[in-house]
Structure 1
Amino acid sequence: MPVYPLFGLNQGGKSTTVSAERHLNLYAEIVPEGDKSRLVFYGTPGLSLFTSFGDTTVRGALAVGNLLYMVHRGTLYEVNNAGVKTARGTLNTTSGRVDLAYNGTQIGIVDGVNMYLYTVSSNAFAVVASGLFANPISITFQDGYFIACFANSGRFQKSKAYDGATWDALDFATAESNPDNLVRVLADHGELVLAGELTIEFWGNSGGQDFAYSNIRGATLEFGLAAPWSLVKFNDSLAGLFKNRMGQVQIMMMAGHALQKISTPEVDYLINSYATVADATAFAYMLGGHPMLQVNFPSAGKSWLFDASTSLWTPLESGLSGGRHLAEIHVDFLNKPRVTDYANGNVYNLDPAVYTDNGAPIARELVGRHLNQSYSLLTVHRLQVDFETGVGQVDGSDPQALLQISRDNGHTWGNELWTSIGVIGSYLTRAVWRRLGAARDFLFKIRVTDPVKVVITGASIEVEQGR
């Protein structure tokens, strides 16, 4: 029986007639020659509950040493490794994302209205009352200074060195390459990245007497940040959702003072079909040597995962209704990725050894390449998908794999055909479907929704060419 390369790395977008490939809640690993398969798909991590703040969402998070700081409604909480929460201060707002930064002794928090300062050693919490401009929306730390930008303004301001309570009204500058507003400030690789609506500027600490920072001439990018909360540190760089003056958005990663597109034309096509992208959010984490970037589109109800080691994109979903992934804000806390829920106050561990999203099922799905013969019928006698079998649950239940077939280029799908992938310990189980009919074009969809480990290494198929 011939081995057919049923699965590939493409992610179909514009037309299923061209490509209908899809890998949902799966990431790929390319293994060396001589192993069983060059291309293996693994299930993405599940979510287990770490702690919860109730019904409303967490607004921001920052890890400092062995403690986690989170803003929920109008309160800053300190959270220990056991998930125990201690209130440390009160904000004047109760909704909307907040930005946090740490200068070694103090945590600065901005919420679009005020800046707040929490001193870790003394637990002192206060509103920054003087010197700081109004309506700070983003904050970062670099070279001893807190640096903030402000709503509807191109200005940014720095604090006194290692003193977030002291701001001089003259210690500011304006991103001048274009009269657009700044939407995020972020320190990266010893430089200050000023992300505006239409341009991005890079400034460095030149040690000037009047103002320490100066513009790095010739480095300005003619791209704007299309979604403020999409800009994140990723794989020793920055990534986010960007847009230039030609229109449409792309997911890009910085390479020095340049941008490299990492979204494919198919992904570009899909995300530009969303009615709203300005509310996109992103976070990054490492998964067994795979640098992962998750981009969420809240208004569209969609989530995408990019793996920098393979350049593969995969959609992420929680549950079986096709909605977005639950995770919204990420923080690496005690060497474990923790994520907040976009819909409530839950905080989760992001864990590859967990096979549900806080109890909700995770659908793992592969749609393969076209098996096509233009001038004669193909008859498929047998299809075997090589799963890691015998991974059933401890209760003895028998996990199942679903096969559906399309014979019209992916426009419609046939009956659900089920087979076992083995109760726990049944390692010799084979996932096989027989007598699958005839067509000129076949597409095969494989789907698993049971809460078990999913590993797919390939497929073999017995095909007869007819007249």
Structure 2
Amino acid sequence: MARLPLTTASYVARSLKASAQRCVNLYPEANPADAPAPVTFYGTPGTEVWSTLPGSGPVRCLYRASNGVLFAVQGMRLYRYDGLGSWIDLAGMATSTGPVNAADNGNSAVFVDGTLTAPTVNLGNYAVGAMSGDGWLGSAFVWFVDERLVFFQPGTQKYFWTGLLSLAIDPLDFASAEGMPDPIVSMIADHRELWFLGEETMEVYSSSGDATLPFVRYPAGFNHYGCEAKYSVAALDNTIYWLGKNKNGGRMVLRAQNYQPQAISTPAISEEFAKYDRVDDAIAWAYQQDGHPFYVLTFPSASKTWAYDVLTGQWHERAYRTAGNDLIRHRGNCAVFFGGENLVGDFEDGRIYRLDLDVYSDDGAPIARQKDFPHIVTEGRKQFFSRFTLDCEVAVGNPNDEDPQILLSWSDDGGNSWSNPIQMSLGRVGAYQTRARANRLGAARDRVWRVYTAAKAKVAFQGAFAEAAAGTS
């Protein structure tokens, strides 16, 4: 009986003959050296409603201010959470869709959406105001660095800043990120440094201590990689991530390492992104759970979500299963860590969910989980498969799914077409002798196995065992 290990998350190559491994709503975790298998695949977190905003439209922003108070933007309205389960309507936004960015200076918070309308909230008495004056030019981003709030004017190279711990902007307090003539696309603050990402280049600025020109370009921080989607930029694990491009091409995910962009998207991931008609609307959020930092990248037009696990360096799909059994993008539209919980806002309505590894549904809807195995090839000879046993945790039944099932199917043409599925049990509660097993499985020169489940139960598997006899041709 041969062990079929699972070590790779998602890798569907340009040629399925090379690799046809799709991985949906599952992520790998390395086991200790003395474990029976090198890797276990666990189910991604389910979602459970934490709160629901009272308005209409998507959740566009979740922001925990420096005073610990949670703010949210739904549709065209800005809300404050009262800490007791209710939301207080504060102000209006100029737009109803697209991400909203927020930052505060300890005294006041600012919320921007790329227009001239930018509500402000006093963090002491929660009085509402708005950015104004000749120095205010509108912005899609705001970040706090060394007692100043920093913005950039959309479509230009110009960035500008407030006074110290103030919302006032002197019309002369601006500068340009002009290492190259491309306009600023996105901006992020990390480690008290400002990163300006243009269409084809990026520049890093740090504090100068000069009241007239408080930020200066860091000499080693200029690079010929830009940003393909302004809302794809996120800070995680002591660096930044974004969907990047340069003059030679794009559709690659980059991570900054010592100010230098490093591609973390595999050729298979870049090939997948190349299929999408539009990527400039991609949005990203980041979170950490059980020691795994995740960069989560959603393509709204393609209705696809991908997650990169920094701990393992591997990608997997995140998907929501609709009532019609279609897989669409993950429901999370933005994220925040608040009250010890990883929270995400829904992309269609006002639901705010908590991500929980012990919740096995998406607000009651089944979560589709799929893992395709590597090719099994033996010198071009046929193999006759008598048995397949999934190496998985069993006896995972629970009140929401008393006898959870998993489906086994296979491909004998390199991953192009698939057999009808065979149902296997993951075991009722207490049924620890259960074996997720199927028999008399035909013959093939090239076999790819697939397991799929929508069970509302814990999922953890470490590969499989296959019994096969080799043919002579």
- TM-score, scaled relative to structure 2: 0.95
Evaluate the alpha carbon distance shift between residue 202 and residue 332 of structure 1 in structure 2; reply closer, same or farther with a 3 A threshold: same
In the alignment, the residues of structure 1 paired with residue 98 and residue 41 of structure 2 have an alpha-carbon distance, to the nearest angstrom, of 37
In the alignment, the residues of structure 2 paired with residue 250 and residue 123 of structure 1 have an alpha-carbon distance, to the nearest angstrom, of 42
Q: Which runs of 4+ in 1 moved over 4 A?
A: none
In the alignment, the residues of structure 2 paired with residue 350 and residue 273 of structure 1 have an alpha-carbon distance, to the nearest angstrom, of 29
In the alignment, the residues of structure 1 paired with residue 29 and residue 257 of structure 2 have an alpha-carbon distance, to the nearest angstrom, of 24
In the alignment, the residues of structure 1 paired with residue 451 and residue 255 of structure 2 have an alpha-carbon distance, to the nearest angstrom, of 32
Residue 63 (structure 1) aligns with: 64
3-state SS of 1:313 partner:
strand
Per-residue deviation at 1:219? Answer: 2.2
Contact 2:42 2:460 in 1 (8 A): yes
Contact 1:377 1:466 in 2 (8 A): yes
Per-residue deviation at 1:55? Answer: 4.2
Structure 1 residue corresponding to 2:343, chosen from 330, 335, 338: 338
Residue 168 (structure 1) aligns with: 170
Residue 290 (structure 2) aligns with: 288
1:19-418 equivalences in 2 (<5 Å): 19-53=19-53, 54-64=55-65, 65-113=67-115, 114-164=117-167, 166-319=168-321, 320-394=325-399, 397-418=402-423
Evaluate the alpha carbon distance shift between residue 21 and residue 123 of structure 1 in structure 2; reply closer, same or farther with a 3 A threshold: same
Whether 1:453 aligns to 2:461 is no
Point out the more displaced range, 127-136 or 266-275: 127-136
Contact 2:276 2:302 in 1 (8 A): yes
Name the aligned partner's letter for residue 60 of structure 2: R
Number of residue pairs matched?
466
Per-residue deviation at 1:327? Answer: 0.8
Deviations 1:396-431 (A, max 9, x none): 631111011111111111111111111122122110
Point out the more displaced range, 67-76 or 346-355: 67-76
Point out the more displaced range, 407-416 or 131-140: 131-140
3-state SS of 1:169 partner:
coil
Deviations 1:163-194 (A, max 9, x none): 11x11000100011112221222211121111
Per-residue deviation at 1:221? Answer: 1.3
Point out the more displaced range, 183-192 or 44-53: 183-192
Per-residue deviation at 1:97? Answer: 2.4
Query: Which stretches in structure 1 are left out of the alignment for 5+ residues?
Result: none
3-state SS of 2:342 partner:
strand
Deviations 1:188-222 (A, max 9, x none): 11211112222111111112242211122342111
Name the aligned partner's letter for residue 288 of structure 1: D
In the alignment, the residues of structure 1 paired with residue 452 and residue 76 of structure 2 have an alpha-carbon distance, to the nearest angstrom, of 43
Contact 2:7 2:38 in 1 (8 A): no
Structure 2 residue corresponding to 1:422, chosen from 410, 418, 427: 427
3-state SS of 1:266 partner:
helix
In the alignment, the residues of structure 2 paired with residue 148 and residue 6 of structure 1 have an alpha-carbon distance, to the nearest angstrom, of 46
Point out the more displaced range, 6-15 or 394-403: 6-15
Evaluate the alpha carbon distance shift between residue 61 and residue 204 of structure 1 in structure 2; reply closer, same or farther with a 3 A threshold: same
In the alignment, the residues of structure 2 paired with residue 240 and residue 210 of structure 1 have an alpha-carbon distance, to the nearest angstrom, of 31
Name the aligned partner's letter for residue 280 of structure 2: A
3-state SS of 1:229 partner:
helix
Per-residue deviation at 1:83? Answer: 3.5
- TM-score, scaled relative to structure 1: 0.96
In the alignment, the residues of structure 1 paired with residue 450 and residue 136 of structure 2 have an alpha-carbon distance, to the nearest angstrom, of 56
Per-residue deviation at 1:82? Answer: 4.5
Contact 1:390 1:422 in 2 (8 A): yes
Q: Name the Cα RMSD after superposition.
A: 1.6
Structure 2 residue corresponding to 1:465, chosen from 452, 457, 470: 470
3-state SS of 1:163 partner:
coil
Evaluate the alpha carbon distance shift between residue 56 and residue 217 of structure 1 in structure 2; reply closer, same or farther with a 3 A threshold: same
Name the aligned partner's letter for residue 31 of structure 2: V
In the alignment, the residues of structure 1 paired with residue 372 and residue 382 of structure 2 have an alpha-carbon distance, to the nearest angstrom, of 21
Contact 1:391 1:453 in 2 (8 A): yes
Per-residue deviation at 1:289? Answer: 0.5
Evaluate the alpha carbon distance shift between residue 306 and residue 426 of structure 1 in structure 2; reply closer, same or farther with a 3 A threshold: same
Contact 2:254 2:261 in 1 (8 A): yes
Evaluate the alpha carbon distance shift between residue 107 and residue 209 of structure 1 in structure 2; reply closer, same or farther with a 3 A threshold: closer
Per-residue deviation at 1:73? Answer: 2.7
Per-residue deviation at 1:68? Answer: 0.9
3-state SS of 1:418 partner:
strand
Contact 1:7 1:366 in 2 (8 A): no
In the alignment, the residues of structure 1 paired with residue 52 and residue 400 of structure 2 have an alpha-carbon distance, to the nearest angstrom, of 28
3-state SS of 2:328 partner:
coil
